[in-house]
């Protein structure tokens, strides 16, 4: 049987890029039939850009403009142009801290995925691990889902449970959720790559 061509990924991030690193390592190990075409960050000194450059992957800083939670319309248009220019099949949000708006959703319908540090539909939004602790949840975890116009509301692609342990702090719980994320995200992407 002939191997499918690699799934062409465009990765958006805002931070150090630990999920991107897990994805890149899964590609290197042959567990994920994909190629990262471009990494784009809305934070100029984001670690994800340094990691992409160190791997020889095109890395772009996109100045976000004056809004804290979304991009300026011009930046949105530039983002779509960069992803199209790079020949991206699937947009992967990896710690991208902005709300995705219509231009990107329309350019890549049902082709944008995100990982969220909770078992959706519980605890959407920011700092979901803190929400889980404050609610007294016995189980937390992470979810990979398609991105739609809502907040963490798109169709779920995969989940991984993480027990809340006695004495957990927000930091210890979040650290364990991140370990689960680093296994779940590449596995879901591998499934998407195989199902094309």
- What domain range is 113 assigned to? 7-195
Whether 99 maps to a domain, the answer reads yes
CA–chain centroid gap for 72, Å, is: 20
Global confidence as pTM: 0.95
**The pLDDT value given to residue 155:** 97
CA–CA dist 187, 19 (Å, integer): 12
- Please check the confidence at residue 4 and state whether its pLDDT lies above 90: no
Report the CATH number at residue 43.
Answer: 3.40.50.170
Number of independent structural domains in the chain = 1
Whether 129 maps to a domain, the answer reads yes
**The pLDDT value given to residue 67:** 80
- Give me the percent of the chain exceeding a pLDDT of 70: 99
Label residue 2 by pLDDT band (50, 70, 90). low
Whether 176 maps to a domain, the answer reads yes
SS3 of residue 169 by DSSP: coil
Q: What is the pLDDT of residues 157-182, one digit of tens each?
A: 999 999 999 999 999 999 999 999 99
The greatest distance separating any two alpha carbons of the chain, rounded to the nearest whole angstrom, comes to 51
Q: Which of 140, 148, 141 is nearest to 102 (CA)?
A: 148
> Which residues form the catalytic set?
116
Label residue 97 by pLDDT band (50, 70, 90). confident
- The structure tokens listed for 24 are 């890149």
Whether 111 maps to a domain, the answer reads yes
SS3 of residue 98 by DSSP: coil
CA–CA dist 160, 144 (Å, integer): 9
């Amino acid at each position: 049987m002939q191997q499918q061509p690699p799934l062409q990924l465009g990765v958006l991030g805002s931070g150090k890029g630990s999920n991107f690193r897990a994805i890149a390592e899964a590609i290197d190990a042959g567990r994920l039939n994909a190629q990262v075409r471009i990494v784009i960050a809305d934070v100029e000194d984001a670690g994800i850009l340094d990691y992409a450059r160190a791997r020889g992957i095109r890395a772009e800083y996109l100045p976000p403009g004056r809004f804290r939670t979304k991009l300026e319309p011009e930046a949105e248009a530039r983002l779509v142009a960069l992803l199209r220019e790079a020949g991206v099949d699937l947009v992967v949000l990896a710690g991208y801290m902005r709300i995705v708006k219509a231009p990107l959703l329309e350019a890549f319908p049902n082709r944008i995925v995100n990982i969220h540090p909770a078992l959706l539909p519980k605890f959407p939004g920011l700092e979901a691990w803190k929400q889980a602790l404050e609610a007294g949840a016995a189980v937390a975890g992470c979810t990979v889902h398609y991105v739609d116009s809502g907040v963490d509301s798109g169709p779920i692609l995969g989940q991984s449970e993480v027990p809340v342990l006695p004495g957990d702090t927000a930091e210890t719980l979040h650290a364990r959720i991140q370990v689960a994320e680093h296994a779940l995200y590449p596995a879901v992407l591998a499934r998407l790559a195989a199902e094309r």
